[in-house]
């Protein structure tokens, strides 16, 4: 099984990273937090990898931090949560807030995450609340992506739009949410991660 990759970052988007190692390009699904933590394309990247094997597919999921990978693996133990939903959960809330919400049985916070309904939130708390002791709760260090590319919403806005569409939101809905988030707080317009989460809150 592939557990770790270190190599040249060939491409990245809010949900995907392609890393070249030994002449082979590995395609990994990533969370918003990992996207923010990755360096510029062409630089060396390091990803902790979870390899998901099915009869017809092998899929890689990448994480900038080991704690995020560990939390991802614990989410997979919950009935009804597969790898794609687990990545969506980690994209919808930072690791520290998620751990805190689970420990505090904060169902309201959990149900604001796309794909997590009341029953799933209850299962997450029931099954993981007592398994969070070793998860360090610290402020997440998320870099603001620096980019020179221009788009209709700026680089951060275009990346946030792409992430929302890839999570299943209709493009017009995602666009309105981004516009609402920027109108509410113009300061998030250059902060991909902040804008993404503000837009998701606007959709909810």
Q: What is the pLDDT of residues 66-120, one digit of tens each?
A: 999 999 999 999 998 999 999 989 988 888 889 889 989 999 989 888 788 999 9
The parent domain of residue 58 ranges over 4-63
Domain count, the chain: 3
Q: Which of 160, 100, 148, 146 is nearest to 125 (CA)?
A: 100
Given this model, what pLDDT does residue 162 score? 83
Q: How far apart are alpha carbons 5 and 100 in whole angstroms?
A: 29
Residues of the chain with pLDDT under 70: 136-152, 204
Residues 77 and 50 in one domain: no
- Residues 191, 166: one domain? yes
Q: What is the pLDDT of residue 107?
A: 92
Q: Are 195 and 182 in contact (CB under 8 A)?
A: yes
Give a yes or no: residue 144 inside a domain: no
Q: Which pLDDT score is estimated for 137?
A: 54
Residue 143 lies in a domain: no
73 & 127 share domain: yes
Residue 44 is predicted with a pLDDT of 96
- Identify whether residues 59 and 72 lie together within a single domain: no
């Amino acid at each position: 099984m592939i557990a770790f990759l270190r190599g040249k970052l060939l491409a990245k988007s809010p949900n995907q990273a392609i890393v070249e190692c030994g002449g082979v390009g590995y395609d990994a699904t990533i969370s918003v937090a990992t996207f923010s933590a990755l360096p510029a394309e062409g630089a060396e990247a390091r990803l902790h990898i979870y390899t998901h094997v099915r009869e017809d597919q092998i899929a890689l999921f990448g994480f900038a931090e080991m704690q995020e990978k560990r939390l991802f693996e614990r989410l997979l133990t919950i009935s009804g949560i597969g790898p794609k939903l687990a990545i969506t959960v980690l994209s919808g809330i930072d690791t520290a807030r998620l751990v805190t919400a689970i420990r505090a049985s904060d169902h309201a916070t959990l149900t604001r995450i796309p794909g997590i309904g009341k029953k799933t939130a209850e299962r997450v708390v029931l099954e993981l609340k007592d398994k969070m002791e070793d998860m360090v709760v610290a402020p997440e260090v998320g870099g603001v992506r620096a980019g020179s590319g221009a788009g209709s919403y700026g680089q951060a806005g275009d990346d946030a739009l792409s992430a929302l569409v890839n999570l299943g939101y209709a493009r017009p809905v995602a666009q309105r949410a981004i516009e609402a988030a920027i109108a509410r707080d113009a300061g998030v317009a250059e902060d991909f991660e902040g804008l993404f989460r503000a837009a998701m809150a606007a959709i909810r």
